[in-house]
Each structure stands twice: as structure tokens, then as C-alpha cells.
Amino acid sequence: MGALRSIFVHPAMAQPVDLRGRQIVVTGAGPDSIGAATARTLAAWGATVIVTTRSAETAAAAAQAINAALPANCPGRVVGHALDLCDVASVAGFADWYRATLGERLDALINNGGVHLDLRSQWRAPQLTAAGHEIHWRTNYLGTLHLTHCLLPLLRATAARQGEARIVNVVSMLHARGRNAALFGGPSALQPYNSWVAYGTSKLALVHATRELQRRYGSEGVQAYCLHPGAVLTRIADKGLAGQTLLAAVRRAFAPVEAFFLLTPDEGAQTQILCATRPGLAGGLYYRDCQPAQASADAADGAVAMRLWDETQAWLDRIDSKTN
């Protein structure tokens, strides 16, 4: 079966790097996820890896499971902590906990956490958060940028001392479904509503953010990357198809076929592992299959990236003013 599968699936592989002494955050590391697979590899290579899920209990369980799967005498370790990207207090609290527990060093932030809901595109209007944000935008983009904003001083300080730090944003080839015009104007800009377009728009925003982070901080040694992990068999589709009993049953029946053609979480984690670890890797680019790839035409608009950065910074400043 393995030999036959190799005809259809050709995963690229990141090469091991000595990560002893490094500290890395990986968001979204629930069971059978790309984040968990990423953390396991990074810890096996020697890093201290902080993994997150929405609750403290599942984060602790995720860390325990990953640590149990590490080789004997492994130099690395995994620590779990709660993080809800939709909760301002949770993001700020995570950053405070990190500083208090692990100090001022942060070698890499891997923004892997996110959501893709309503995979059957049945919603006729966006699902909004209490603050009025579309759920994909709030979780995948605003939450990720808030976390990056909170941890950026640690990344910059680490780059100044160690020569480099990295920000890795896990996007998707579906960023091509997003359009620059939908980045501004709130949920009304996404009408008529389609959840796949909303998801793609949140990922397009992360591509823009990656390039703007590189433009602003690359000269300081903070390198930024974004990537498509591939078509990976994880539990994200379970949440995206929540409530679809018949379709869920069909998926279970065809699970062996799905597993045959899709990447495993370990295979899907390779490009983000490479972006977080390979020495000398060019920043500011979009990666796929462990190599630079062409992002969408909309992602190449530098003026949009700067405007989006400024509007996001204004939102972050409002958050800071309310919490200080």
C-alpha cells in the first residue's frame, strides 16, 4: 500500500537542524493536527516548543501526548498553554505567561492555528463575533496578528542577540479565493457571503502581513514566511462539517480512500518546519512543497499590504488602549 501511495503522494521533506536552546511557539496543536506534528519534530530536533489549544486541559494533554511520542533521551520538550485567538484577554495573557515562564527568548512563532467553517457553504450570512467581526477574519487574521504583535518585541530582541528570529504564517492555496477589495469594509465587503471566500480572504490577509513584516523587520533579522501545507488529512474538516450527519457518515465510509490521497499531518508539517528552521532561507516569500511558489496576483499589491497593516495597527492600538 505504501509503495502504491508513493505514486500519487510525493511529500517534500525538511532536513534536520540542531535546535537545542531554541524556543518556538506553535499555535493550534490539537490531536492529529499539523501543529502537533510540527511540534513533535521541532522538539525531537532539540527545541523547547510551546503548543496551544483553546483550553488549558487540551493544551496540557496535547503536550503530554507529544512528549510521550518523543525518542528516548530527546533534548527537546513540549509545554502546553491555552490560547483563544478570538479572545483579546487570552492572547495578551498568553504573551504575559510566556515572558514570565520562558523569559525574553523566542526564536520562532509558527502561526498554525485557525478555522475553516461551513465547508458546504450553507451560511447565507457571515457568522459574527460579539465585536462584529466575521469569524474567519477574526480568528485567522486578527487573532494571529494580535498574537504576533504581542510577541514581536521578544522576536526582535532574540534576533538582536542571536542574529535571527522567524515568523511563520500557515496560509493556504485558497488565499487565491480572496480578493483585495474584500479586505476592507468589514463583513459587508464579503457580500454575497461564501465561507470559502471568507476563509480565502483571511489567508490572503496573512500573505500580505507576511510580506509587510519582512519589509519592516527583515533588516533586523526577523524573517517572515507564509506557506501552503498541502491537502492534509486532519480534523479541521470535522469542525467545518459540524452538523452534517449524512456527509460525516459518507466521509467515514471513504476514510481509507481519503487517507490514501491526502498528506498525513507529519507530511503536511514539512513546509512550515522548513520555514522555521532552514538556515539562510529567504524571507518574505510564499512557500509550497518546501520551496518558493507563486502567490496570487492580489497578494503582490504592496500598497494594499501597507494599507492593511495600518488599519490592523489601528485596531491593535485600540485594543492596547483598552487593556492598559
- Euclidean distance between CA atoms 142 and 82, whole angstroms: 18
Cell of 253: 465510509
Contact in structure between 190 and 182 (CB atoms under 8 Å):
yes
Which contiguous run of DSSP H or E holds residue 287?
Answer: strand 286-288
- Euclidean distance between CA atoms 200 and 145, whole angstroms: 16
- Euclidean distance between CA atoms 171 and 228, whole angstroms: 6
Is 199 tagged catalytic? yes
- Euclidean distance between CA atoms 10 and 165, whole angstroms: 30
Sign of CA dihedral 223, 229, 235, 237: positive
Catalytic-role residue among 98, 141, 199, 225: 199
Helix (H, G, I), strand (E, B) or coil at 223: strand
- Euclidean distance between CA atoms 244 and 215, whole angstroms: 43
Beta bridge partner(s), residue 224: 167
Contact in structure between 124 and 193 (CB atoms under 8 Å):
yes
Contact in structure between 309 and 211 (CB atoms under 8 Å):
no
What are the catalytic residues? 199
